[in-house]
Structure 1
């Protein structure tokens, strides 16, 4: 069967700029895909690059879409190179929807009712603003039912962040869990200080990517020195990186941003074959990619860990 497609870029405004160790992010940009089969059925997909995490740039994705054949087969979709992981995810997810609508065996659920039922089993980690604003912002997430919160560190002075952390720990209810995300922005000494403080606090579920990916061996050694778990994020941004870290002995938590990881089929196969501790996380994609990732999360994520998708409050409504 042959397919046709159209693509359109989009921009989505953050309500407030998102500050991380990688910088300040004001607008999420991406590409919406519309695939059509010979019977006129439509499958929607989304390309949501995150180049500072290791994916292609938006411009590279746009150029690929412009060069992609106007009529193509599934072989063309599964031949997209690994150097374009967000494109792999977007095209394959859209094709997967078409497979379902054609009545063939699907790997994802596509009906809204099925999505609602399956996603209802997921718990969400609520992303807090950086800095002092987190001390009150958690209340909104708590009121809507979230019990896991994520706070980015390594953004301003460590002295200030440690002070705010202590206040946040005192403010959060005893049943809450907190994730600390450094985005690879700490030194080894800072990471060790944070892990010591986290061990004492007893509320930290894990620390995410304390050091840059190139310091994998140091991170791996830290894993055995502290009670607080460590999760890899930037180190496992793509499927190839995920496989490499696993082959090098990582058996801790893997934070997977599926929308930039590459082929969802290959990702599924790897997770099923190795039974890894997975937390699926957002790249601030729109609803199309979000649904596709959450379908994977229902199937593959650790049952007792919240998914990193408590981010809708960061955007101006479309």
Structure 2
């Protein structure tokens, strides 16, 4: 069966730069995907990798598909493509098949919860103080995520103390090192936080390929995997603790959709900064996760992307704005 494929590039700036131990993210670029079947029904997707090399590879593959690829060809190649391209095409196919969307059994789900991502270009302490002035936020089950590994350890430990002193008693804290620590540093942090009740987990404390080190560390403190799952996807089946799942980077979203529909626990849905087309999936999967056996706040990074039509829940509006 032939489909009709349209592709449109997009680009946007984050409202503030995101500094991690691996570099600085200031903007996102990618491609919007519009698939139609012979009945003119639409499926929408988004291809938004984090690295330029993958973006260029995706562009070449999309060009090679032409405007009328067969369904069989797309399905056959999904497993061999970069994860971001597999997401974009898989997402559009899933919507065509009414696995998600307005013709599905539950329409697009939406979540109102999210962890708050502290800024990395200004004082995280001052930012935290400003949001805690909002009594509604202060009384909620607040979850804060802080990117670490950007400054000397002693500086960050001092900032951590200031953050913890300001957090309400029922708040949760997530630290994300983006693989920037070595084993000695990670163990030092684990010892420092071993009795901290507000800590939910440390995300990717060691490089993605140091699985034995991550396993050892997880016996002392909660460890969530992120980059390791992208490098070694088999860990999605074997890692028993928290998994930070970034749908737009990891491949065909129908796989994760099935996991969450089957109530598999210890998954957390996280943004990789997407347009409204990808955001529909992030919200839908996050809402499913929160109905599962281990509900927790997803990582949607509210306040980091512009408030414009490109982030609308209406895919046609996103397409027109790109």
Q: Is the TM value for this pair above 0.5?
A: yes
Q: CA RMSD in A?
A: 2.6
**Structure 1 residue aligned with 2:159:** 164
Q: Which residue of 2 aligns with 1:125?
A: 115
Give 1:102's aligned residue.
none
CA distance in 2 between counterparts of 1:161 and 1:131 reads 14
Q: Hey, what's the Cα distance between the residues in 1 that align with 2:90 and 2:276?
A: 16
List runs of 5+ in structure 2 lacking aligned partners. Answer: 309-322
Instruction: Measure the CA separation in 1 of the matches of 2:299 and 2:252.
Output: 20
The 3-state SS of whatever aligns with 1:92 is helix
How many correspondences in the alignment? 300
Go from structure 1 to structure 2 and tell me whether the alpha carbon gap of 1:190 and 1:157 turns closer, same or farther (over 3 Å shift).
Answer: same
In 1, Cα distance between the equivalents of 2:60 and 2:166?
48
Instruction: Give the conservation status (yes or no) of the 8 Å contact 1:78–1:88.
Output: no
Deviation readout 1:199-252 (Å, 9 max, x if unpaired):
23321100000000121101101111x2x31101110026xx2324644xx211
Distance in 1, Cα, partners of 2:307 & 2:96: 28
Instruction: Tell me if 1:78 matches 2:70.
Output: no
* Unaligned 5+ runs, structure 1: 100-105
Per-residue CA distance 1:47-69 (angstroms, 9 max, x = gap): 111239xxx61111111111113
Give the TM-score taking structure 2 as reference length.
0.84
2: CA distance, partners of 1:197 / 1:130 = 22
Q: Write 1 or 2 for the structure with the bigger share of strand.
A: 1
User: Corresponding residue for 1:89?
Assistant: 87
Aligned to 2:273: 284
Distance 1:131 1:161 in 2: 14
CA distance in 1 between partners of 2:71 and 2:271 (Å): 27
| Aligned mates of 1:172, 1:312 — CA distance in 2 | 19
Q: How does 1:129-278 map to 2 (within 5 A)?
A: 129-130=119-120, 133-139=123-129, 143=134, 145=137, 147-224=142-219, 226=220, 228-237=221-230, 241-244=232-235, 246-247=237-238, 250-269=239-258, 275-278=264-267
Secondary structure of 1:137 counterpart: helix
SS class of match (2:268): strand
Q: Deviations over 1:243-293 (max 9, x none)?
A: 24644xx21111111111111223344566793411111111111111113
CA distance in 2, matches of 1:223, 1:203: 17
